[in-house]
Amino acid sequence: MTATVLLGPQRFRTTAGAAVRAVAPEGPIATVTAGWQDRESNTTELDAVLEGRAVHLNLYGRLSDVLATDERFAEAAAAHQEAIDELAGIYSIRLQRALDSVYAIQRRTVRRADLAASALADGVELVRTIDRWYLGLVEQIHGELVVAAPPERSEPLLRHRAEVAELVSAAGAVAIAGGHVGVLLRCLQVFVVELPAERPVVAWSAGAMALTDRVVLYNDRGPSGMVGSEVWDRGLGRAPRIVALPHARRRLRMDDPSVLQVLVRRFADASCLLLDDGARVDLGPDGSLPSDVRVIGRDGRVSGLAEAEQAEAG
């Protein structure tokens, strides 16, 4: 796999332009700004950063066109979204109760440390079981949409997919901006945006989240108080074995190692990667992380990846 670069939140003053130039010195850059939703076409700053090389895929606008011109797809998409929303509500209830139990075990003082450790491990495994249950049903509901509105029967959908594929194929690299990660990921899925291994990709904030194999939403500092991190959907898998955490300082309780310990144990098959403002992470050819990136270790503290792995092995 060629270059894959994950960036922290951007205001186009920091690292996006330099990263794109490094992986694709020339040629058009296919850009995805669907996460901006109604502001998708407001690309003046991005165009300047990419030095006039941007070719915007306009996925959000394309989706709006399909919904407006294909009644069958629009009805099926509305039913699909309703089913996803209902599932998400049930998942949130189950998840929060399971997480509350885990946090209560952490806070409880007991004489037998082995009993507490066993209960904590079992509690975390229950949380992971709920995550897997939810993702399984999300995939099932996605499949139901395909059956209800077969893509091959939608002229506007097929036309837009073909146009998007042609633009990506002709691009020297793909740049994926942030915004609303749910909308962004849905647009990428609907138009089957493929990222061949030989095509460099630069993605920031929610765009970086969409590249992982499992998108995780988090906001410990929301208006209604602490809400447990929730799995949203499968990502594109270009950045495997990573839970991407942009805006972590603003959304996670970074001063509470016990909460972070649960997060890391819950996603133990991945690295919880901090993508601070201005951060740049160049993945290895196999999708691996460099040793000096900032991650949340198993002890709930921030460290370099190499240090965290050494501490876990020890």
| Rounded CA separation 202/36 (Å) | 17
User: Rounded CA gap, 246 and 209, in Å?
Assistant: 8
Evaluate if residue 38 carries a pLDDT over 90: yes
Predicted confidence (pLDDT) per residue in 270-286, tens digit: 999 999 888 999 999 88
pLDDT tens figures, 169-200: 999 999 999 999 999 999 999 999 999 889 99
pLDDT at 12 over 70: no
pLDDT band at 8 (very low <50, low <70, confident <90, very high): very high
- Of residues 177 and 250, the one with the higher pLDDT is 177
Look at residue 1 and tell me whether its pLDDT is greater than 60. no
Domain 4-66+154-313 - what CATH class? alpha beta
Q: What is the mean pLDDT of residues 147-175?
A: 97
% of the chain surpassing 90 pLDDT: 75
- 95 pLDDT more than 80: yes
For residue 112, the model assigns a pLDDT of 86
pLDDT band at 308 (very low <50, low <70, confident <90, very high): low
Mean pLDDT within 254-265: 89
Q: Is the whole-model pTM more than 0.85?
A: yes
Residue ranges covered by each domain of the chain: 4-66+154-313, 82-151
Mean pLDDT (the chain) is 91
Taking only the tens place, the pLDDT of each residue in 197-247 is 899 999 999 999 999 999 999 876 655 555 679 999 999 999 999 999 998
Sheet containing 201-204: order of strands: 54-56, 29-32, 173-176, 201-204, 4-7, 280-282
Q: How many Å apart are CA 264 and CA 154, to the nearest integer?
A: 43
Q: What percent of the chain has pLDDT over 70?
A: 93
Position with higher pLDDT, 311 vs 263:
263
Are 35 and 178 in contact, with CB atoms under 8 Å apart? yes
Q: Which residue has the tokens 């950045």?
A: 239
